[in-house]
Amino acid sequence: MEFNKWLDEYINDEKTANFYGRWNKELLREAAREEAREEGYEEATNQRNYDIAKNLLNLNTDVNTISKATGLSINDIKNIK
């Protein structure tokens, strides 16, 4: 029973609450940074696929082949022209 009382006091201690508040904020910031990195990677990959598709179009490559190679839809590729 004494331990439970100590634990309640420790958890409700202002210093501990501040520490966990700062720790939680840092975790949220890190999650946001990770999400931004992932979004940036996806954007760069998508842009690279469009660049490859454009180059293949300039080489008169079939639209179906470009779609298979890049993962872009045929409509997306036709809009590049």
Amino acid type, 29 = R
CB atoms under 10 Å from CB of 52, counted, come to 14
Q: Which residues make Cβ contacts (< 8 Å) with residue 76, sequence separation at least 6?
A: 50, 53
Q: pLDDT band for position 81 (50/70/90)?
A: low
Alpha-carbon gap, residue 15 to 35, rounded angstroms? 30
Alpha-carbon gap, residue 12 to 48, rounded angstroms? 52
Span 18-27, pLDDT tens digits? 887 888 899 9
Span 40-67, pLDDT tens digits? 999 999 999 999 999 999 999 999 999 9
Average pLDDT over residues 7-32: 82
Give the residue numbers spanning the domain of 25.
2-80
pLDDT at 1: 65
Give the total number of structural domains in the chain.
Answer: 1
Alpha-carbon gap, residue 3 to 15, rounded angstroms? 19
